[in-house]
Each structure stands twice: as structure tokens, then as C-alpha cells.
Amino acid sequence: MSGLEGAWYSNKRWVWLLLPLTVLFWLVSNLRRGLFKLGVKKQIKANVPVIVVGNITVGGTGKTPFVIYLVKLLQGLGYTPAIVSRGYGANTKIGPSFPRLVNAISDPSLTGDEPNLLALRTGVPVVIDSDRTKAVKYASQINGVNIVVSDDGLQHYKMARDIEVVLVDGARYFGNGYLLPMGPLREPISRLKSVDLPWSIQAF
């Protein structure tokens, strides 16, 4: 755990030195979300339902195992899902162009470890691209796919979504409760009021 991250979860007072940056972060993120909400900036909607699994804090909150669980649940309900991911760790200089399709035998150096794991554990198509709207469009055009699950991307408001699932760290919760960089929050805690399903990873 870095010094800054440690301060987020131990209520160190020196984080107040970062207040100007936090105010700037709040202004920019609020403006960006507001532009999409007002329709000034257009969301791109897929031709199939999209479920976003994300969080409002920095760091891992068990998204990957939850996405695997959700995909298997959807399959049990008769859906044919695909997964989209940003593809952290994927080599962008070599390999197929983006959006890039990942399967169980893909080279992790070209896809990133998590997308490779998702493909291996679920057996469904996984599509990676830093622009999630392109990944969703590609995934929705795969034969038979009738629903898309986005691994992260809650703050990618360009991507229209039908259901938002937000995972909460049931052990650390929201740290000191401040926005970046004073605290671990990407969005205010009040954002949970507008999502479809807040889910504690302890419960999961």
C-alpha cells in the first residue's frame, strides 16, 4: 500500500493539502457527467442490453470474480453474454488491432491477464479496447450475443448502460470518504443512490 493510499484509510490530516486538486477533480468530473446527463455529449447505445460492473473507489473490489459469477448466472437464465474490458496490460504495439477479441487460448501479453482469465473461466467472448463503446459495438455484433457485461467502466459515460452494479469493499468501505486525490473516491458516495445494485464484496 502506497503512502497516499495508506493516508486514505487512516484519516491522515495532511491529505487536506490536496484539497485544491480534489476541488478541480470534482469540478471536471461533475461537468463531464453533467454534459452526458443533459445530452450535450451523446452516449452511444448498443443494440443489446449492457450491464456495467464497476466501483466508485480506486483499487480492486473483486470485480473480476463478480463478473465471472454474473456471466454464469446470465447463462443459466438463457442469455448469451459477452464481456468487454479495457484490457490493462495488453500490448498495444503488436498483435491484432483493436477492438481485440480474447479467448481462452489468447496470449496474455497481447490481451492482459484479467481479460484472459475472464475468457478462460467463462468461455464467452471477451473484447478489449480502451474505448469501451467500440468494444461493446464489436461484442454485440458477435453471432448469438444478446447481452454485454462491462468489466469496470462505470465512469465511462460515453457508453450507455441499462444496469449499473457497483461493488463496495465490505472491509474498507470508502476510506476517509473524500474524492481523489484527498481520498479513494472516483465519485461521491451519493452516487450509490442512482445505481441499480450496490453490492458488498463481503456478501459476495
Summarize the annotated binding site for ATP as residue ranges: 57-64
Distance CA 136, CA 150 (A): 8
- How far, in Å, CA of 79 to CA of 144, rounded? 9
Which of 46, 131, 43 lies closest to 82, judged by CA? 46
Q: Which residues are annotated as a binding site?
A: 57-64
Q: Closest Cα partner for 93 from 116, 110, 113, 115?
A: 110
Give the length of the chain: 204
Helices (H), the chain: 3-8, 19-38, 63-76, 108-111, 113-122, 132-140
